[in-house]
């Protein structure tokens, strides 16, 4: 009697474990964006827009990442000129990528330059494809894979609040 009860409990736990694994697999696949020549495996909530573009005419193997907040609209909608309290992204500085983890492929060099007041531009050269990277900043994470060699542009625009 004790053995059969033990087997029932073990089988139930095993079944629940398998069901939980299936649920995790399904939820991860739902977050994955697969396109013909790239895949996004995950991105944090604070990433408002994400655009991938491959220049089909160029023979260069370069990845350019524009990472920042939306460009402020010139002219204020605030007629008093009094600024409201600051919110996320209102530090007056453009956000920075803290780390780029290589999960597949490689890059040899990364250069950073300021694109404008709210955006930095990162240029990666010496690429080996397929290239799978995990980009980490202070608050955001983006994991993606570029499947085809070429000149790539990725625009990552963060939510400003």
- 8 & 67 share domain: no
In percent, the amount of the chain with pLDDT more than 70 equals 66
The span from the CA of 55 to the CA of 150, in Å, is 7
Range of the structural domain that residue 121 is part of? 35-72+84-158
Please check whether residue 79 lies inside any domain of the structure: no
- 97 & 139 share domain: yes
- 23 & 91 share domain: no
Taking a C-beta distance cutoff of 8 angstroms, is the pair 46, 70 a contact?
no
Phi, psi of 159 (to 5 degrees): -70, 145
- 140 & 61 share domain: yes
Q: Kindly indicate the confidence band of residue 47, based on its pLDDT and cuts at 50, 70 and 90.
A: very high
- 64 & 2 share domain: no
Nearest CA among 161, 131, 141 for reference residue 38: 131
**How many beta carbons lie within 10 A of that of residue 49, not counting itself?**
10
**Residue 43 three-state SS:** strand
- 105 & 64 share domain: yes
Residues whose CB is less than 8 angstroms from the CB of residue 131 and which lie 6 or more positions away in sequence, other chains included = 63, 102, 104, 105, 106, 107, 145, 146
Q: Is 79's pLDDT higher than 50?
A: no
Question: Which DSSP letter does residue 25 get?
Answer: H
- 96 & 48 share domain: yes
pLDDT of residue 7: 61
Please check whether residue 95 lies inside any domain of the structure: yes
pLDDT of residue 9: 57
Question: Which DSSP letter does residue 36 get?
Answer: S
Mean per-residue pLDDT, 136-154: 94
Taking a C-beta distance cutoff of 8 angstroms, is the pair 63, 131 a contact?
yes
Q: pTM for the whole thing? A: 0.69
- 44 & 103 share domain: yes
Please check whether residue 77 lies inside any domain of the structure: no
Number of H helices, E strands in the chain: 1, 10
Distances (CA, A) of 42 to 30, 113, 155, 158: 10, 26, 15, 15
- 122 & 103 share domain: yes
pLDDT of residue 4: 66
Q: Report how many domains make up the chain.
A: 2
Please check whether residue 133 lies inside any domain of the structure: yes
- 9 & 67 share domain: no
Residues whose CB is less than 8 angstroms from the CB of residue 31 and which lie 6 or more positions away in sequence, other chains included = 41, 42
Q: Is 135's pLDDT higher than 80?
A: yes
- 21 & 46 share domain: no
- 24 & 47 share domain: no
Please check whether residue 110 lies inside any domain of the structure: yes
Please check whether residue 117 lies inside any domain of the structure: yes
């Amino acid at each position: 009697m004790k053995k059969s009860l033990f087997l029932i409990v073990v089988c139930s736990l095993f079944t629940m474990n398998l069901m939980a694994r299936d649920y995790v697999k399904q939820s991860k696949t739902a977050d994955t964006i697969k396109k013909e020549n790239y895949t996004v495996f995950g991105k944090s909530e604070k990433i408002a827009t994400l655009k991938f573009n491959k220049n089909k005419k160029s023979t260069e193997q370069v990845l350019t990442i524009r990472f920042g907040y939306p460009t402020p609209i010139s002219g204020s909608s605030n007629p008093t000129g009094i600024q409201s309290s600051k919110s996320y992204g209102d530090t007056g500085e453009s956000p920075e990528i803290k780390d780029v983890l290589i999960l597949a492929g490689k890059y040899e060099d990364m250069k950073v330059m300021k694109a404008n007041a709210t955006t930095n531009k990162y240029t990666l050269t010496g690429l080996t494809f397929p290239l799978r990277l995990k980009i980490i900043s202070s608050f955001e994470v983006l994991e993606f894979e570029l499947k085809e060699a070429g000149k790539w542009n990725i625009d990552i625009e963060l939510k400003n609040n």
